[in-house]
Amino acid sequence: MKPIKIGLLGLGTVGTGVVRIVQGHQEDLFSQTGSGIEIARILVQNKSKERSISVDSAKLTEDYRDIVDNPDIDIVVEVMGGIEPAKTYMLEALARGKHVVTANKDLMALHGAEILAKANESGCDVLYEASVAGGIPIIRTLVEGFSSDRITKIMGIVNGTTNYILTKMSQEGADYAEVLKEAQQLGYAEADPTSDVEGLDAARKMTILGTLGFKVNVALDDVSVKGISQVSKEDILYGKQLGYEVKLLGIAERQDDSISISVQPTMVKKSHPLASVNGVFNAVYVYGEAVGETMFYGPGAGELPTATSVVADLVAVVKNIKLGVGGRRAFVPYKEKKLRTDEQMSAKYFILLHVEDKAGVLARITQVFAEHEVSLESVLQHPNAANPKAEIIIITHDANQASMKQVLKAFESLDVINAIKSVYRVEG
């Protein structure tokens, strides 16, 4: 029986993991698919470069056409990353009737609709499990495991770099800048960490999860994004004293037929499972109308965890080819997109204010909340030797976002408030 032949675009960290798993698990892969799987060609930038894995040099090529134009190759696995030339290579592969497996979150977040439409037109599969949360099978779970349910909320830690930084700040009382530097030295953060720490990486992943979970075509611009670069060790300390951990959460919610998606530092109640997800691990919490609450936890990156998701997609494509159903299960969003307004979005909020230390200040602050119909859960005043002014911590009950914006705007012109130091959403 002729083996299914694979063309691999990229032999970096994830590509190396894919080769390791495919070469080392041949018996298991044959057992699952009834077919041999052979990596026939591998696109690299430099054929003579030394590598951490033994690969037949005859399989290496520096010309992508040796893969996308090769009639013997059935499936193209893209693990190059970036938008171009990966997008061009994938579209050309689909145009030639080749199925595609990718780990490219940036590409699927920004151009997923175009790629899936091309796959539909060409009768090909495009699977991208590894694009979100590394080794956690969250995409397959949303598409297949929740196919009989209606998802109302997806909330998760989907960026390991920021979770590592916030964990170290919480456990060691360290400053953001020093932990970021350590994360860069360990290889968890890039030399330019902007994509991670400003929430852009998480936003791309939430674009994908929101599209799949709510079956609408979510664009990256639909995601409200705030990163962790302004989170201070004082914020984390005060949160801990009140029973919260600070986590960068992606939150996608659906109410009736309208949705909202955001990425933001959030105060998570310590009793909530997400509060105990530490280090570079990821976790995604899914609420379904029928099933209730479920959580999926595991490594969010790394050579073998991510490669495991890639190869799982590879197995699924091979099974579809063998069954003659390749390209018939392409996911195409079919619901109309309606974004929730500020008036429709509500949450609890944590607010830290620096105020004048004199009588009547608290009364003026609570009056502003009352004027905008925001009720308060708790109000605390904390002495801080480093701050000659008074510090007031307020946690609200559920308040709509429009009212909260009006409250904060009023605070900016209130003479007894020196600074609105921090504002965080509260979950759990």
* Residues designated catalytic: 205
Q: How far is residue 250's CA from residue 138's CA, in Å, rounded to a whole number?
A: 14
Identity of the amino acid at 294: T
The torsion of the CA quartet 355, 357, 362, 365, rounded to 10 degrees, works out to: -30
CA angle 59, 49, 43 (to 5 degrees): 40
* Nearest to 282, CA basis, from 193, 209, 194, 216: 209
Question: Mutual orientation of helices 160-172 and 233-241 as an angle, nearest 10°?
Answer: 70
* Nearest to 5, CA basis, from 47, 36, 44, 32: 36
Q: Which residues contact 49 (CB under 8 A, 6 or more apart)?
A: none
* Nearest to 419, CA basis, from 390, 386, 385, 381: 390
Tokens in use for 113? 């609709």
β-pairing, 223-225 vs 258-269, is parallel
Q: How far is residue 408's CA from residue 266's CA, in Å, rounded to a whole number?
A: 18
β-pairing, 75-78 vs 99-102, is parallel
Q: How far is residue 393's CA from residue 375's CA, in Å, rounded to a whole number?
A: 14
Q: Which residues contact 73 (CB under 8 A, 6 or more apart)?
A: 5, 6, 7, 40, 41, 67, 98
With 0-12 CB in 10 A as exposed, 13-18 as middle and 19+ as buried, what is 214?
buried
With 0-12 CB in 10 A as exposed, 13-18 as middle and 19+ as buried, what is 49?
exposed
In sequence order, what are the beta bridge partners of 78?
Answer: 9, 102
222 to 108, 218, 322, 338: CA distances (angstroms): 15, 7, 39, 10
